[in-house]
Structures are given as structure tokens and as C-alpha cells.
């Protein structure tokens, strides 16, 4: 459980940073939110995450497009049933493909007509204004057998991502966009590990000066 929790959080952070590097306008908006809500007199804390809706939306959109566990925990049908027109005998093992559901064009739209509604586009704005989109997210499963570490994972990722954005300016290591191809594994890593350039912001010198 500890290994799964740390690995999935690390994978999600890498995907989130990769998306932000490919969408610098979103990165700027996230930094502005942190500067407005937290300022430069203290570092972001876990308790601040609830007051950073755009940061949470970035995490939700990352989990939508790049769920760390694209296939959810297997279930077994307790009786004969029909799902999506398919007859499933009792004791059939069922796998939910969260990756495919999260990219289904019949499910995902953006409430703002000025934004692209391509379900493959990275748009944290999907979850603004209390839209129904957040209820379609199932990166942690649903019901009694959903991931017990969902809350912890969201706090860890939110706190870490917020700290990275608050403390550093980020740039791609080359003019080319970050490669977003997926690798192989139980969790879904990037095919090519993320490489980026970070430059410390003044808040780093204020709180981590060695003098």
C-alpha cells in the first residue's frame, strides 16, 4: 500500500508538471493564484489546498488524462447481468478502463464556449463553476471499494505541486514540447522521464537561505 501510494503520487506529479510546461499560460495562472492566496511571506501549507481551486482543477485534469492507475481494481459480478449491451455471467472478472472513460468525447465538454471542447485537451477550466464534470472523474474508483488513499494522495500531490509552483520558475529544457507518450507499467509513467529547468523565486532565498 505504501509503495502504491508513493509511486502513483510521483507519477501524477510528473504528468502534472509535464502538462504545465506544455501550457505555460496555465502555469502562470496557477502561480498567480498562489501569489494572491498565499503571498510571499510564508510557504504554502497542506491546509491551503482547499483555498486553491485552480490548483485542484489542474490536478483533476491531470488525473483525467493521465490516471496513475488506468485500469481500476478488478471486480467480480455477483450475479448474471448486462453491462453496455454485453451479457456477463456470474463470477466474471470486470476491469474498468478509467483512461478510456476519461477521454470519451460523449462524456466530456467544456462549459465555456470560447474554449476548445476536445476531450484530449488539457483544460483545468472544465471543473469551474461547480460543473458536473468532476462527478465523471473516477481515478480512484467509486463506491465502497474505491481507493482508501484518495484523500491522502490528493493532499500530497496538491501540497507538493503547489510548493513547486510557488518556489520555482519552470521552463522546458528545449524549445520542443514535452513528450507526452505513455510508458508501460502497473502505474502509467511517462515513456521519457521529465526534464525541466527550474529557477528559484525570491521566496526560496527568504526561507531557505544558508546564511
Binding residues for heme: 147
In the block, which residue shows the cell 520558475? 169
Q: How far is the C-alpha of 150 from the C-alpha of 184, rounded, in Å?
A: 23
Q: Do 97 and 71 touch, CB atoms closer than 8 A?
A: yes
- Where residue 29 falls (left for φ over 0; alpha for ψ -120 to 50; beta otherwise) is alpha
Helix, coil or strand: residue 152: helix
- Residues in the annotated binding site: 147
**Which DSSP symbol is given to 153?**
H
List the beta strands (DSSP E) in 89-201.
93-94, 168-172, 196-200
Amino acid at each position: 500500500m505504501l509503495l502504491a501510494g508513493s509511486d502513483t503520487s510521483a507519477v501524477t506529479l510528473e504528468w502534472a508538471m509535464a502538462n504545465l510546461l506544455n501550457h505555460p499560460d496555465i502555469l502562470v495562472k496557477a502561480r498567480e493564484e498562489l501569489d494572491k492566496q498565499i503571498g510571499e511571506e510564508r510557504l504554502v501549507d497542506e491546509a491551503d489546498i482547499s483555498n486553491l481551486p485552480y490548483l485542484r482543477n489542474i490536478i483533476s485534469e491531470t488525473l483525467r488524462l493521465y490516471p496513475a492507475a488506468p485500469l481500476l481494481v478488478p471486480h467480480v459480478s455477483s450475479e448474471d447481468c448486462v453491462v453496455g449491451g454485453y451479457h456477463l455471467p456470474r463470477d466474471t472478472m470486470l476491469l474498468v478502463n478509467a483512461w478510456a472513460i476519461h477521454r470519451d468525447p460523449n462524456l466530456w465538454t467544456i462549459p465555456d464556449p470560447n474554449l476548445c471542447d476536445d476531450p484530449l485537451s488539457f483544460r483545468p477550466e472544465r471543473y469551474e463553476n461547480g460543473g458536473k464534470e468532476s462527478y465523471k472523474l473516477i481515478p480512484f474508483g467509486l463506491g465502497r471499494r474505491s481507493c482508501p488513499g484518495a484523500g491522502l494522495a490528493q493532499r500530497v500531490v496538491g501540497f507538493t505541486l503547489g510548493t513547486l509552483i510557488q518556489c520555482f520558475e519552470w521552463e522546458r529544457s528545449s524549445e520542443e514540447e514535452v513528450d507526452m507518450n505513455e510508458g508501460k507499467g502497473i502505474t502509467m509513467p511517462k515513456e521519457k522521464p521529465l526534464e525541466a529547468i527550474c529557477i528559484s523565486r525570491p521566496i526560496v532565498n527568504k526561507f531557505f537561505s544558508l546564511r
